[in-house]
Amino acid sequence: MSEKESVREKSGHEESVRAPVGDFPFSLDVRFESGGGFQWTALWEALDRLLDDRDGPAAFLGLPDDHDALESVLGAVGRVPDGFRRVLVLGIGGSGLGARAGLEALAPLETRGRAREVRVLSNVDPSSVADALDWFDPADTLLSVVSKSGGTIETLSQFALFADRILAFGGAKALADGVTIITDPESGPLRAMASSAGCATLDVPPLVGGRFSVLTPVGLFPLAMAGHDIARILEGARRVIDGVKGPDRSMQPTIRSAVHHIGLMHQGVSVRVLWAYCDRLASFGDWFCQLWAESLGKVGESGRVGQTPLRAVGSTDQHSLLQLFMEGPREHCLTFLRVGGPWPHLEVPDMTALAPALGEFAGKDLKDVLDALGKGTMAALLEEQLPLVDMQVPDLDEESLGALFMHFEVETALIGYVLGIDPFDQPGVETGKLFAHGLMGRTGSEDYGRQAMRLLGGRG
Ligand code: PA5
């Protein structure tokens, strides 16, 4: 059977469908395909509508071809003075998760030239912010403030603290030189502030939603500052787009995965687990959770839809979540993410003299131990007949990272279109923000503050 052909094996109740990969940056193997209840015509119609929306709400599809944005990021990176050896990114949700996911995933790679240490601060937990303030030195640390709207509570309140620190260090010039703002090209408080303070800016394309923005300056600037090859990230993303538009699209990994998961949703499978056997993909799991939850958890025409995402890390979560998947309610489907490299080589020494039980590991590469644990877990889940997708990434590099970002974005948006909801909005998160503004006393929001207090039983 040629590499381009699909592989379909059946043995007893087990079914495996492997999307053809060739030299694609990852492979995808669907076990226990969800099957029934799904119309392919509905999928192709949804895909056509999604691709047609490339110049509208689905503008993220065009990002791999946005050469101007790539050049503007590389230009901005080139203009950062050499003295800034470190970068602190302020950004939350779609403005922070993708950058952190990418930075951690690519951390072991060799970086180019003037690589900097880049950190991302998201939460306003005072302890985390205090730690970041301790780490932040305006003399050698660039502050990159990322907010598409430019008005996010967390990012603005953090910015005030860091701006104060920078102004105390070197006045208005230090603020202009030491801050890069990534926000909407025209609107929002951060854009106005950048203009008045004279800070460097990069644009978030207005049509690209926050959680779909990792391949804009939002993710590309921090990754380029860390020395990674962002052109290759975009190249990996482009390969996914080419695949879903190509002639063999029914076997393209993203389409296979989307079909599988729509089928599972129709069957009432309510939790999707992204289980990475790789610590440096833990934050990628967080990025995925936001994408899946905020895009698909909506009120559709036929009622509420969505599926709860859960991120797991192997082998750690074998000692935590696995019991629930094996014997708890049958409401989970799992996507394994396994990485071929790069890994440090750690051969386990022969320590049988200390304890005979250690002999099992003697001479093995620690990666083989991790692999055995991952495979053992998958086998156990398959024995329980849980729906499982096995994604394998031979090399976790810039290209495969870009492909993974785009794979999950297209899959999510496509499923949103099939479900008949808008995967790009998030109306459900607004009420809590309005109440928070009211509780902080924003002028005009007093009623929200009072209503929040009432709902909280007056205790606040
Ligand atoms: O996906 C989204 O749009 C949100 O999660 C946003 O990314 C998040 O709320 C942060 O918004 P902003 O970039 O405007 O600060």
Please list the active-site residues: 294, 319, 433
Cα–ligand 1 centroid distance for 97 (angstroms): 10
Tokens representing residue 433 in the block: 């923000």
Comma-separated ranges of CATH 3.40.50.10490 domains in the chain? 7-53+233-419, 59-232
What six digits make up the tokens of 318?
């074998």
Q: Is 191 in the pocket of ligand 1 (CB under 6 A)?
A: no
Mutate to test the pocket of ligand 1, among 90, 190, 202, 211 (most ligand atoms within 8 A of CB): 211
Distance 307 CA to ligand 1 centre (A): 20
144 CA from centroid of ligand 1 (Å): 16
Q: Whose CA is nearest to atom 8 of ligand 1?
A: 93
Ligand 1 test: best mutation among 92, 191, 207, most atoms within 8 Å of CB? 92
309 prior amide bond cis, ω within 30: no
Which CATH homologous superfamily contains domain 7-53+233-419? Glucose-6-phosphate isomerase like protein; domain 1 (3.40.50.10490)
The CB of 92 under 6 Å from ligand 1? The reply is yes
Neighbours of 236 (CB within 10 A): 24
**CB of 96 closer than 8 Å to CB of 241:** no
How far apart, in whole angstroms, are the C-alpha atoms of residue 290 and residue 272? 12
In order along its 460 residues, the chain shows pLDDT tens digits of 333 333 333 333 344 555 555 578 999 999 876 665 567 888 999 999 999 999 999 999 999 999 999 999 999 999 999 999 999 999 999 999 999 999 999 987 777 667 899 999 999 999 999 999 999 999 999 999 999 999 999 999 999 999 999 999 999 999 999 999 999 999 999 999 999 999 999 999 999 999 999 999 999 999 999 999 999 999 999 999 999 998 888 889 999 999 999 999 999 999 999 999 999 999 999 999 999 999 999 998 889 999 999 999 999 999 999 999 999 999 999 999 999 999 999 999 999 999 999 999 999 999 999 999 999 999 999 999 999 999 999 999 999 999 999 999 999 999 999 999 999 998 898 889 889 999 999 999 999 999 999 999 986 5
The pTM (predicted TM-score) of the whole model is 0.93
Name, in order, each residue with C-beta under 8 angstroms of 373's C-beta and a sequence gap of 6 or more. Answer: 277, 314, 315, 318
For residue 392, count other CB atoms closer than 10 A to its CB: 14
Tell me which fold the domain 59-232 belongs to: Rossmann fold (3.40.50)
* Angle at alpha carbon of residue 215, lines to 209 and 220, rounded to 5°: 125
Residue nearest to atom 5 of ligand 1 (CA): 93
98 lines ligand 1 (CB under 6 A): no
C-alpha 274 – ligand 1 centre gap (Å): 22
Ligand 1, residue 152: give the atom nearest the CA.
Answer: 15
